[in-house]
């Protein structure tokens, strides 16, 4: 069985965790497949948006502990987990987690590592690590305090409470709660809106928001100036201006608009 399914449509790549018999628990094969798929998505310029979801009515039940503790040194296992977390967080396209059923432990933190989380009312979430004698991983110790504040992060992590989709939305851990029979259409439309956006500008905006959370205002302004300079040198800004003048929707390509060299220009 293929543990990770890949589907492409109109610039949107959907990765589906496909171990439904284990509620898509992450074993070594799935971690490695996810790592390779994220590397490929980052390299493929036709990918404008990435959707991460799970098969069989669950998102991801965390690490697969059904076979007990692996004989491999934990450091080696954590390297793959760390690679996946960073690849997802730094992917230069918008990412959407479509969560149905359970999203717990590393599975929940993979969802939180996406830029936007859409959940169905039936979704359930837990930082289950404490129940397994473990500490947070997959970026949870960094993500949770930024999203919910330190006290709520400690409550979720130390008690390993199970919360529903509506509470997750109230805590800013979910952007939208959408009925199960409408969620596919909702995510498809959301992804289409993102895919139609300016790819270079969106990539830089995503990076700015991620990076500047830990910077001073002066540092953030410097990063914004650098990103905006790149945008103004690209083809999407003049296309947006022309579309505005023509009263039409812009057609963004992410192209590079290098001006022609004129006679007497020695620069």
114 within some domain = yes
254 within some domain = no
Q: Note the pLDDT of residue 261.
A: 59
33 within some domain = yes
Residue pair 236/204 in contact by the 8 Å Cβ criterion: no
Chain segment 145-180, per-residue pLDDT in tens = 999 999 999 999 999 999 999 999 999 999 999 999
Chain segment 182-221, per-residue pLDDT in tens = 999 999 999 999 999 999 999 999 999 998 888 888 888 8
Supply the CATH number for residue 84's domain.
Answer: 3.90.226.10
Chain segment 31-41, per-residue pLDDT in tens = 999 999 999 99
Strand partners, 54: 17
Q: Give the global pTM.
A: 0.91
d(CA 212, CA 217): 8
The domain containing residue 158 runs over which residues? 4-195
Residue pair 101/23 in contact by the 8 Å Cβ criterion: yes
| 186 and 234 co-located in one domain | no
Please give the structure tokens belonging to residue 208: 């700015």
Chain segment 88-103, per-residue pLDDT in tens = 999 999 999 999 999 9
| 188 and 215 co-located in one domain | no
pLDDT higher for 79 or 97? 97
The sign of the CA dihedral 110, 113, 118, 124 is: positive
Among 102, 110, 124, which residue's Cα sits nearest to residue 51?
110
């Amino acid at each position: 069985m293929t543990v990770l399914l890949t589907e492409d449509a109109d610039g949107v790549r959907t990765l589906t965790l496909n171990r439904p018999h284990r509620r898509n628990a992450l074993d070594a094969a799935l971690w490695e497949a996810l790592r390779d798929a994220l590397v490929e998505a980052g390299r493929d310029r036709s990918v404008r948006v990435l959707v991460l979801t799970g098969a069989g009515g669950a998102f991801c039940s965390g690490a697969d502990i059904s076979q007990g503790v692996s004989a491999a040194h934990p450091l080696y296992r954590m390297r793959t987990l760390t690679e996946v977390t960073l690849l997802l967080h730094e992917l230069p396209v918008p990412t959407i987690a479509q969560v149905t059923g359970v999203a717990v432990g590393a599975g929940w933190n993979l969802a939180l590592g996406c830029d936007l989380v859409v959940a169905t009312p039936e979704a359930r979430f837990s930082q289950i690590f404490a129940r397994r004698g473990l500490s947070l991983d997959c970026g949870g110790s960094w993500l949770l305090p930024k999203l919910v504040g330190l006290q709520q992060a400690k409550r979720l992590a130390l008690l390993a409470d199970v919360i529903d989709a509506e509470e997750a939305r109230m805590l800013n851990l979910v952007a939208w709660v959408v009925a199960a029979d409408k969620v596919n259409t909702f995510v498809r439309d959301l992804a289409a809106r993102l895919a139609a956006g300016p790819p270079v500008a969106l990539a830089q905006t995503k990076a700015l928001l991620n990076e500047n959370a830990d910077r001073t205002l002066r540092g953030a302004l410097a990063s914004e100036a650098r990103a905006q300079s790149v945008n103004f040198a690209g083809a999407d800004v003049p296309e947006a201006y022309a579309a505005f003048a023509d009263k039409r929707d812009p057609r963004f390509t992410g192209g590079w608009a290098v001006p022609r060299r004129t006679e007497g220009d020695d620069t």
